[in-house]
Structure 1
Amino acid sequence: MTPSYLGKIRSYYARLSEKEKKIANYILDNPDKIIHCTINEVAEDLNVADATVFRFCKRLGFKGYQAMKIALASEVVTPMKHIHEEISDQDNEKAISEKIFKSNIRTLENTLQILDYNSLQKAVQLIQEADRVEFYGTGGSVVVAIDAFHKFIRSGVKAFAFPDSHFQLMSASQLTKNDVAVVISHTGTNNDTIKILNTAIESGAKTIGITSFPKSPISQNVDVALYTSSDETEYRSEALASRIAQLSLIDALYVNLMILNKDKAKNSLEKVRNAISETRI
């Protein structure tokens, strides 16, 4: 799948410093101009150092400014339709449905572009070594936490999730240094979720965070942070779109763990299937 490099800049935007946002705005507003400019010309236009522009390119995963120019040129010269179109109240059912599906696809593409596989590996390892894994989320994120429990309970992991934030807080207080708390929050700033995280940390548990903002309190305080990326439109919130990416990250953790523990996972799945089939008799 061909990545959208302008889309990648948009997906990183909330995580950028003020100087980096200045460069990002310049590129987003002048993609055609950028491919004909040198790094010195861009730096001079923005009144920043060449090194600042270079670091910005590296931040996006390019080897340097020239590599970014080449990537942008392939996109600008053969323009891709911006699939994350705004939904209009004039749209019919077909147009609205297509825009929603394309928006969800874009959310997954953007999240995949920023996914740190070293962090993913560390998260899998923490879950692999844990005696107990608890998934926490409040508001819309509680749905993701319950889905995670539904998956991981089939893997042989001692997984738990509670829909009520007070139950989550009590449970977090009982964790130990051998346990892992997975905290899910789009903004990373929800007070209830932060309190649950702090309680888990005080209990000595290892922590994994799934959020969209690296500078949020949750991102800054977990042992391993995994990030999602999504855009907001008039009729769909960024948090709602990010939930799809959160579910996909949970799925990636689950499948990686299942592959690491093939025999244990197979036996656990068999037990679950037998228990469910017996209730249907």
Structure 2
Amino acid sequence: MKHSLVKNIQEHYHGMSASHKKIAEYLLDHYDKAVFLTAKELGQTLGVSEATVIRFAVALNYKGYPELQQALQDMVKNKITTVERLRLALLDGQTNLPHKALSTDISNIQLTMEEVTSADFEKAVNEIIQARNIYIVSLRSATALGYFLHFYLQLLLQNSRLIHGVGTFFEEIRPAGPGDLVIGISFPRYTRQTVEGLKYARENGARVLAITDSLTSPLAPYSHHVLTARSQQISFIDSFAAPLSLINALILAVGARDSAKTADVLRQMEAVWESYRVYHSE
């Protein structure tokens, strides 16, 4: 596993040239600005050439500047606060926000489609279907994603539990063990209790599936399977369009695996919904 950018710089710093040290110090001190700069823009900011910036990246054992920039993004998304996100968004301008937000969502979905493999997706579906009980851990803003997944898995499989974690987190997840599946959902800035919950569940013998933004997520080391969905934001609010689309696909796949059973469940529920007038009708 590659070192973090900070550790990478620390290990190479004493052997760097003066211009490379200048770049390193700027990245560490002004990561919130550097993350948005191209190699050329970073060079212009520091008064060095674009080639020098690229050589700096290679000296740190990255394949090029794009890979270094990805490492910088991984560092930033774990440190940057909502206030800093808002400040950066305001620096980028407030014009045409609907277009920017929707374009970011579209890009996140497209990148997620490219990155999620059929093999990984099928393994996740198999884990869900084979589980004795399913525990869904999704806290803070990710609660909405977890509730959506729980609603439909409980409808289809009737073995899903949503962990709320309001003062009773470990009491709720404690029963998860061999034969059970814990699904953790968290995106930057990752919720500490979600990470701890997955670690606890795995040590307890449960299977663990993470739905997060990358394989470098702190959820990954404690998971048997990881599904990634992009969540890049343009301001202080995370974009959950791609994660929700991925979860929607999981639900559809689970329902399609035994379509006859799914149809029977839906017929039964339609009768209940109609009898108790759950939905509005003219």
Task: Quickly name the TM-score band, shorter chain normalised.
Answer: 0.5 to 0.7
Q: Distance in 2 between matches of 1:147 and 1:130?
A: 19
Q: CA deviation at 1:250?
A: 1.0
Is the 8 Å Cα contact of residues 154 and 265 (structure 1) preserved in structure 2? no
Q: Distance in 2 between matches of 1:263 and 1:87?
A: 51
Q: Distance in 1 between matches of 2:185 and 2:199?
A: 14
Q: Which residue of the other structure, out of 256, 276, 281, is the alignment partner of 1:279?
A: 276
Q: Which residue of the other structure, out of 80, 88, 113, is the alignment partner of 2:93?
A: 88
Alignment of 1:40-59 (within 5 A): 46=55, 48=58, 53=63
Q: Distance in 1 between matches of 2:176 and 2:263?
A: 27
Counterpart of 2:21 in structure 1 is: none
Is the 8 Å Cα contact of residues 133 and 157 (structure 1) preserved in structure 2? no
Is the 8 Å Cα contact of residues 156 and 268 (structure 1) preserved in structure 2? no
SS in 2 for 1:155: helix
1:88 partner letter: G
Q: TM-score, normalised by structure 1?
A: 0.65
Alignment of 1:1-281 (within 5 A): 29=39, 46=55, 48=58, 53=63, 88-89=93-94, 91=95, 95-187=96-188, 189-233=190-234, 235-237=235-237, 240-241=238-239, 243-280=240-277
Change (3 A) 1:153 1:165: same
Give a deviation string over 1:61-102, Cα, whole Å, max 9, x none: xxxxxxxxxxxxxxxxxxxxxxx998623x2xxx22222211
Matched residue count? 220
Is the 8 Å Cα contact of residues 108 and 231 (structure 2) preserved in structure 1? yes
1:181 partner letter: V
Q: Distance in 1 between matches of 2:222 and 2:118?
A: 19
Q: TM-score, normalised by structure 2?
A: 0.65
Change (3 A) 1:114 1:85: farther
Q: Distance in 1 between matches of 2:269 and 2:220?
A: 34
SS in 2 for 1:154: helix
2:247 partner letter: I
1:139 partner letter: R
1:212 partner letter: D
Which 5+ residue runs of structure 1 have no aligned equivalent? Answer: 1-13, 31-41, 58-83
Is the 8 Å Cα contact of residues 156 and 265 (structure 2) preserved in structure 1? yes
Change (3 A) 1:253 1:86: farther
| Sequence identity percentage | 17
1:121 partner letter: E
Q: CA deviation at 1:53?
A: 4.3
Q: Distance in 2 between matches of 1:181 and 1:188?
A: 20
Change (3 A) 1:188 1:207: farther
Q: CA deviation at 1:149?
A: 0.8
RMSD: 3.7
Q: Which deviates the most, 217-226 or 195-204? A: 195-204
